Every structure is written in C-alpha cells, then in structure tokens.
C-alpha cells in the first residue's frame, strides 16, 4: 500500500490503456506529482480499444511496480476500480487517464480505454480527465511534454473549480505547437469497419480488424475540427447516456405489455 497521504496534498490516481510501461503515463505521472501524491494503477499490457470493460470472469492480479505504482492484469476500468478501493490511502481527489498515444475524438470515445478510465472515476464520484495526443504518420509521439504540461493545467483547474456531477473531460492535443484551446462537442463520423480475412497455415479463415474508414462529419464546433485546425480540444462528456429527445416520442408509442 502507498504511504499515508500528506494532509495538504491531494491524492491523484493515474491510469491508461497503453500499459504501465508506456512513455505517456510516465510523463503524466511525473508532471502531476507537482500537484499531489500520484498513485499509478495501470494495465500490465496494452489495452487499447477495451472500452469500459470490467473483468468479472477471472481474478485480477496486482503487482508492485515501484513506489506508488501498480501493474494490474486487467482493463483500465479494473485499474481505476482497484485503485480507488484498494490501492490508494484515501479516496482520490482526481483521476487522470493517459497520456494516450493517439487521439480519442468523435465516436472513438466509445471504444477508448483511456476515456473509460476517466469514466470509471466519474461513476465513482471522482472528478476525472482523459488526455490523448496526436501521433505522426508512423504512429509515434515525439514529445509527451506539451500534453503532460496541459494535463497539469487542466488538473489545477479541476482541483480548484470541480466538475458537475457525472461529467468528465476529454482532452486531445494536436501535433506540433497548439494554436490555442477550444471547448468542443464530441464530433461524429461516417464509420465502416475494415476487416481483413486471411487463412492460417491449415487453410482455415481468420479475421483481423485492421482499421476503419473514419470520415469526420465536420461539425465546426466538434473535436475533430479543433484538432484538424491545430487547437487543443477540451470536451465535457456526460456519463448519463440518456437521449432526452427520445423520451416523449417513445411515450407516444403506447407500448403494450407482452
């Protein structure tokens, strides 16, 4: 277990979906240490695309990975759940998930383990932030420094002002030097999964989800547009997925009992 918390320093729980050895989480944890006691609870391997999965079919193992660092053989959601209830000396003041290698914008947030880590914190009543940064054409991030520094800025603001109940913040940074910061809505896109069919050495088919055709719809106030124009995107997301537009129309259906 971590040492007892300092009474004047908040406890910040950090997770990710790229795995505990990813450079993004190292940069994030180091930067946030200026604000409080940082506890890292992260997957033992990459869990990108895990979404908000919670492991219920097998036990979870927690391994000590250094001072206030825990390697867990589970999803980001598992890590936050264990972090909050078992691995922190008190209930964390803040959950920060990231820094993800690659953007989590538009409809991708539904698949993102990074966003799911922040969502789990939100559902447990803790203000939470997800942080991701764009990659180059080779899928690499040259410098996590700008994203780490901006994560500290956001963390300071959240610690000072708080967040509305059940709201989390999804932060994405473009490549290069940002032109500024925009408060955005979650964008949308046309989507078509790209599945490749191949044969194994025995001649049996197998399938590989190799990517997707993702064309942003182009909302001018959306997260896609902000990133494309070189701005940092900060999107408030709501953990309650009710679409209130559907309540009245569904009531008019006068649905009978089975």
**Dist CA 236 CA 163 (whole Å):** 9
Residue 183's DSSP bridge partners are 234
Q: Which of 243, 245, 220 is nearest to 233 (CA)?
A: 220
Domain containing residue 165: 11-187+218-240
What CATH number is given to the structural domain containing 79? 3.40.1210.10
- Indicate whether 224 belongs to any domain: yes
Structural domain contains residue 27: yes
209 domain-assigned? no
- Give how far the C-alpha of residue 156 lies from the chain's centroid of Cα atoms, to the nearest Å: 18
Beta bridge partners of 195: 209
* Residue 99 preceded by cis peptide, ω within 30: yes
Query: Does 195 map to a domain?
Result: no
Q: Is residue 20 part of a domain?
A: yes
Instruction: Give pLDDT, residue 117.
Output: 98
Residue-wise pLDDT for 195-230, tens only, equals 889 999 999 999 987 766 566 767 899 999 999 999
In the predicted model, residues of the chain with pLDDT beneath 50 are none
Asked if the structure places residue 89 within a domain, the reply is yes
Q: What does the pLDDT read at residue 95?
A: 98
Per-residue pLDDT of 26-42, as tens digits, reads 999 999 999 999 999 99
Q: How far apart are CA 157 and CA 144, in angstroms?
A: 20
What's residue 5's pLDDT?
53
Number of domains in the chain: 1
């Amino acid at each position: 277990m971590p040492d007892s918390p300092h009474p004047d320093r908040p406890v910040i729980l950090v997770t990710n979906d790229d795995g505990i050895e990813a450079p993004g989480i190292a940069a994030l944890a180091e930067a946030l240490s200026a604000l409080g006691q940082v506890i890292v609870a992260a997957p033992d391997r990459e869990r990108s695309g895990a979404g908000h999965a919670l492991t219920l079919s097998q036990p979870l193992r927690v391994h000590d990975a250094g001072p206030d660092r825990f390697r867990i053989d589970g999803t980001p959601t598992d890590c936050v759940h264990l972090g909050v209830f078992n691995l922190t000396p008190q209930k964390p003041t803040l959950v920060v998930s990231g820094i993800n290698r690659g953007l989590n914008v538009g409809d991708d947030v539904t698949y993102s383990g990074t966003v799911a880590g922040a969502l789990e914190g939100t559902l447990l009543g803790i203000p939470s932030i997800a942080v991701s940064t764009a990659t180059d054409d080779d899928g690499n991030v040259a410098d996590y420094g700008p994203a780490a520094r901006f994560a500290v800025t956001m963390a300071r603001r959240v610690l000072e002002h708080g967040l509305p109940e059940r709201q989390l913040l999804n932060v994405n940074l473009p490549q290069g030097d940002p032109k500024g910061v925009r408060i955005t809505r979650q964008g949308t896109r046309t989507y078509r999964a790209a599945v490749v069919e191949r044969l194994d050495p025995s001649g049996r088919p197998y399938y590989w989800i190799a990517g997707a055709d993702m064309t942003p719809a182009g909302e001018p106030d959306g997260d896609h547009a902000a990133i494309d124009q070189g701005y940092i995107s900060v999107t408030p997301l709501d953990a309650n997925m009710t679409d209130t537009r559907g309540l009245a129309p569904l009531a008019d259906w006068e649905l009978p009992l089975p």
